[in-house]
Every structure is written in C-alpha cells, then in structure tokens.
Amino acid sequence: MPAENMVSEYFTISQRDMVALRRHVPFNLTKTVTSFELLTAILWRSRTMALGYKTCQIVRLMITVNARGRWKKLPLGYYGNGLVCPVIEITVNDLCTNSLEHTIELVRKAKHEMKTEENMQLMIGQDTLDIGWAKRIGGVIPTVSLPDMTSYQFMCKNEKGDHILVFRTTNAVMHLPLVVKRK
C-alpha cells in the first residue's frame, strides 16, 4: 500500500471496552487470555483485513519480549537492551478465515516460546555471550519500512484515573474496523 494511503492513529481501550472484546473469546480461553494476547490478535486480524492484502500473501507479527529473567546469560547488573523478537508468519487467508481462538493461540505460542532458556538461546543464536561492557556484541534495530508500520500497546491512566490501554498503529486511510474509541 502506498505511503500516502497510510495514516498513524492512536486508539484507547477502556476496561469496559476490554470486557466487550472478551465476549468474542471462546469459553475455554476466557479465564486465561491476557489483554495483550486478545488485543494483539484482534489488531493483527483487523489491520490485515483493512489493508486488503491478497489471500495468498504472507503476513507477519513480531512481538518484542524482554530477555531479563528468562535468559540466565544476562548477568545481574547488566542494564543494556535484552530483547528478543519472535515472529509469527501466516497467510492472509489462514489469519482471516480461522477463528479468533486460533489467532490468540498463535500470539500465545510466540510469547510462551521465549520463556525457556533453550528457546531463548536458539533465538539469540550464541553459545556464549560476552557482555564486554564496552564491546558491541551484535544485534540490529528491526525496521519494517517507511512509513513506520510498528504498532505499540501501553497502559496509561486517563484524566479520571482509570486504567486504559493505548495503542498506536499505521492503517489504511479507510481505518480499522474495530469497536474502539478514537482519542
């Protein structure tokens, strides 16, 4: 999609909105699905549909996971970045025609795969890690394209002191088909 047909927008999700979104979750997931998993699954599907990709096209979701507390090779006192980014790949057809439960499970699987030391090691791909305090040990800053196609989610408090989720995404000008309030 051409950059001139894209727009970055911020949306807010209140606790009431999350309750409404949770009504679409299958019963077997209602007690275990996190707000992150649910919102990420809905956003990924909605944004993919809004962008009008061909059904055979591969779409990706990259999740940033903090390696601290999950990877023992990061020494106590290390204050640099310790992030890994698992990627989910699926065709547009599979993403948009399978159930919401399926998409939630994809997000959950990517997130949980980074909880083990072995998977963390495979993701980073180094047998030994030399923090080196002043030496570059590798890594890159992932970028998608211009305009910035990254979506962000974070918790805030609104003017009434209520906890809300805020997310930023870049969409087609026609906007996402979501049941959320625009800020």
Cis amide prior to 147 (ω within 30 degrees): yes
pLDDT of residue 179: 41
DSSP 3-state of 141: coil
Strand pairing report for 163-172 and 181-182: unpaired
Number of domains composing the chain: 1
pLDDT of residue 120: 61
pLDDT of residue 128: 54
pLDDT of residue 183: 43
pLDDT of residue 124: 58
pLDDT of residue 137: 45
d(CA 115, CA 87): 15
pLDDT along the chain (183 residues), means of 10: 68 87 90 90 88 91 78 71 82 95 93 69 56 47 54 80 79 49 42
Taken as a whole, the chain contains a residue count of 183
Residue with tokens 């990061």: 74
Residue 58, domain extent:
3-182
pLDDT of residue 3: 62
pLDDT of residue 135: 44
pLDDT of residue 33: 93
CATH no. for residue 87?
3.30.559.10
pLDDT of residue 133: 46
pLDDT of residue 37: 92
DSSP annotation of 148 reads P
Q: What is the dihedral of CA 35, 41, 47, 49, to 10 degrees?
A: -140
